[in-house]
Structure 1
Amino acid sequence: MPHTLTIVIRNLSQNKMQFYAFQHPADYKSSGSVLQSSSASLATGAVLPYKSSGSTLQFQFARQPHVAAFSNQAKFAMLVKPQPFASASQTSVVASWPIALTPQDQTKQVPNNTQLTVGSLGLSKPTYTSGISEGSFGIEIPSYTPTGGLKLYCGNGIKIKNTQVVLSSYVTPLPVNHIFCAPKPKFYVKTGDHPVGSSISFSATGAALCDFTNGYSTCNVDYQSDGTFTVHRQ
């Protein structure tokens, strides 16, 4: 199975267009309760009309699930200098690891759980933990005291172009908690310009659905002159 998920966009309108991509929010649970998550843009770019330029816009993401965490405060982050975190947008992810999702055959022991540390922000290398539902991974949250201005997030990370990992969807963890995250291999493309990592309000309305379940690795997206999308998977 290919390791990379690719979205190829053709602009069939008569004007240069800007597009961005984002992922369907992961399902988050803690002690049986459903947690509300936030979403972020994963890619953005502009492309000229295909009929006059032959140009396409490509977004690529790793299929491998990642766990990731971010903090905006220096004492919670392993950073030489604190980095800005305005409007809940992250310019970088402080800690991340590839992680496995619990398989259907739960007798298979895969590295599906990690522990968050907040004294200096980090994530332990994932190991196997029993009791995590199929299609999910776990994040154990230690005791910590939230302080004024602290933004601490963790959740589903996406590796972009085999380089940086961005928090695709994330939650603010409560102290002394065990969070379970179930990512979905579904992405969306919309018109607009949202920088990578910037916070967005998730909405699939008017978007092209790029569904990579069942082994698909490429979604060819055509933006039509009437503002609609068509998608072909392969």
Structure 2
Amino acid sequence: MPHTLTIVIRNLSQSKMQFYAFQHPADYQSSGSVLQSSSASLATGAVLPYKSSGSTLQFQFERQPHVAAFSNQAKFAMLVKPQPFESAAQASVVANWPIALTPRDQTKQVPNDTQLTVGSLGLSMPVYASGIPEGNFGIQIPSYAPTGGLKLHCGNGIKVKNTQVVLSSYVTPAPVSHIFCAPKPKFYVKTGNHPVGSPISFSTTGAALCDFTQGYSTCNVDYQPDGTFTVHRQ
């Protein structure tokens, strides 16, 4: 199965256009309860009309799932630079781990679980843990006392262009919990400019669906003059 997922955008309108990409939120649960997640932009860029320039815009993501975490406090700079979350500090994540999803054959022991540390923010190297559902990885959350102004997030990371891991969707973990995360290889393209790592409101209205769940490696997205999208997978 291809390791890289590629989205190629052609702008068939008559004007220069800006696009951004984001991922379908992962499913999160803890102690049998569904957790509400937030989403972030993964890529953005502008492209001239195809018919006058021959230009295309490409976004590339690694298929390999990653686990990642973020905090806005300077003492947690082991993972990120001490910048406000709202200023796209997600793009500064410098520590993360590739992680395996529990396979259908759960007798196969894969590294599907990690432990979050909070005093000095970090993630342990993933190891096998039983009881994690098929298609999920786990994050064990320790005891900690949330304080005013603290933002602590963890969840599904996406490696962008083989250079950085961005929190694609994430939750605020409850102390002393075990979170299960099930990423989905579905991405969307919309018009607009959202910097990489900046929080967005997840909505598929007016978006192009790039569905890689059946093993496809490339989605060719055409932005039509009437403002709609067409998508061809290969």
Q: TM-score, normalised by structure 1?
A: 0.97
2:110 is equivalent to residue 106 of structure 1 = no
Distance 1:207 1:16 in 2: 18
With over 3 angstroms needed to count, the CA separation of the structure-2 counterparts of 1:80 and 1:202, relative to structure 1, is closer
Provide the residue aligned with 2:166 in structure 1.
166
Distance 2:80 2:21 in 1: 31
Deviates more, 1:82-91 or 1:217-226: 82-91
Distance 2:227 2:181 in 1: 34
- For residues 84-120 of structure 1, give each alpha carbon's deviation from its aligned partner in whole angstroms, at most 9, with x where no partner exists: 3236762312531000000011111000000000111
Distance 2:161 2:88 in 1: 23
Distance 1:22 1:192 in 2: 12
Letter in 2 for 1:61: F
Provide the residue aligned with 1:63 in structure 2.
63
Letter in 1 for 2:90: Q
Provide the residue aligned with 2:54 in structure 1.
54
Q: TM-score, normalised by structure 2?
A: 0.97
Provide the residue aligned with 1:31 in structure 2.
31
Provide the residue aligned with 1:210 in structure 2.
210
State the SS of the aligned residue for 1:173.
coil
Q: How many residues align?
A: 234
Distance 1:176 1:51 in 2: 56
Provide the residue aligned with 1:136 in structure 2.
136
- For residues 207-230 of structure 1, give each alpha carbon's deviation from its aligned partner in whole angstroms, at most 9, with x where no partner exists: 000000111000000000000000
| Preserved contact between residue 3 and residue 62 of structure 1 (Cα < 8 Å) | yes
Distance 1:168 1:84 in 2: 17
- For residues 133-175 of structure 1, give each alpha carbon's deviation from its aligned partner in whole angstroms, at most 9, with x where no partner exists: 0000000000011111000000000000001000000000010
With over 3 angstroms needed to count, the CA separation of the structure-2 counterparts of 1:169 and 1:153, relative to structure 1, is same
Provide the residue aligned with 2:224 in structure 1.
224
State the SS of the aligned residue for 1:215.
coil
Distance 2:196 2:80 in 1: 22
* Structure 1, gaps ≥5 residues long: none
State the SS of the aligned residue for 1:95.
coil
- For residues 57-96 of structure 1, give each alpha carbon's deviation from its aligned partner in whole angstroms, at most 9, with x where no partner exists: 0000000000000001022331696223236762312531
1:137-152 matched pairs, under 5 angstroms: 137-152=137-152
| Preserved contact between residue 42 and residue 168 of structure 1 (Cα < 8 Å) | yes
- For residues 171-226 of structure 1, give each alpha carbon's deviation from its aligned partner in whole angstroms, at most 9, with x where no partner exists: 00010000000000000000000000000000001100000011100000000000
* Structure 2, gaps ≥5 residues long: none
Distance 2:91 2:215 in 1: 31
| Preserved contact between residue 26 and residue 183 of structure 2 (Cα < 8 Å) | yes
| Preserved contact between residue 69 and residue 79 of structure 2 (Cα < 8 Å) | no
| Preserved contact between residue 86 and residue 198 of structure 2 (Cα < 8 Å) | no
